[in-house]
């Protein structure tokens, strides 16, 4: 069994997430509106690392901080986001934990669509 298969089979990278980038989506009137374009679907490990409840506009907003680990992939940056079904993860920081270009760790904030 390959190392990649062992990681998926062992449950470390068991979520199929979609990587999305901001894009202009054409509308029916010949214009465009801001939206999201799918770049890739990848295996990832998703771990909740904490949460907070800031008050915005007079009401408490729950925010979950999440660490998403995937196989190293160049080009992923904080302008992008991840999607897992209806769950949306805004990327706040991206780094290579050991500098060996094997893994990519993304610190994210889960938000509601």
Over the stretch 74-99, which tens digit does the pLDDT of each residue have? 999 999 999 999 999 999 999 999 99
Q: Which CATH number characterizes residue 45's domain?
A: 2.40.10.270
Q: What average pLDDT does the segment 49-78 reach?
A: 82
Residue 25: C-alpha distances to residues 7, 12, 73 (Å): 36, 35, 25
Strands 59-60 and 81-84, bridge-based pairing: unpaired
Residue 49 and residue 65 in contact, taking contact as beta carbons nearer than 8 Å? yes
Tokens of 52: 């907070």
Q: In which domain, by residue range, is 69 found? A: 3-111
Residues facing residue 67 across a β-bridge? 47, 107
Residue 66 and residue 93 in contact, taking contact as beta carbons nearer than 8 Å? no
Please give the model's pTM, rounded to 2 decimal places.
Answer: 0.78
Nearest to 104 by CA among 39, 42, 49, 33: 42
The CA distance from 88 to 18, in Å, is 10
User: Quick check: 9 pLDDT over 50?
Assistant: no
How many domains does the chain contain in total?
Answer: 1
């Amino acid at each position: 069994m390959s190392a990649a298969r062992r990681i998926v089979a062992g449950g470390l990278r068991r979520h199929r997430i979609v990587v999305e980038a901001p894009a202009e989506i054409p509308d029916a009137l010949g214009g465009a509106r801001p939206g999201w374009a799918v770049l890739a679907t990848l295996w990832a490990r998703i771990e909740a690392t904490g949460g907070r409840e800031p008050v915005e506009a007079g009401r408490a907003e729950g925010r979950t901080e999440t660490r998403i680990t995937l196989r190293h992939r160049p080009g992923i940056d904080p302008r992008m986001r991840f999607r897992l079904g209806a769950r949306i993860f805004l990327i706040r920081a991206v780094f290579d934990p050991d500098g060996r270009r094997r893994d990519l760790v993304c610190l994210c904030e889960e938000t509601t669509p």
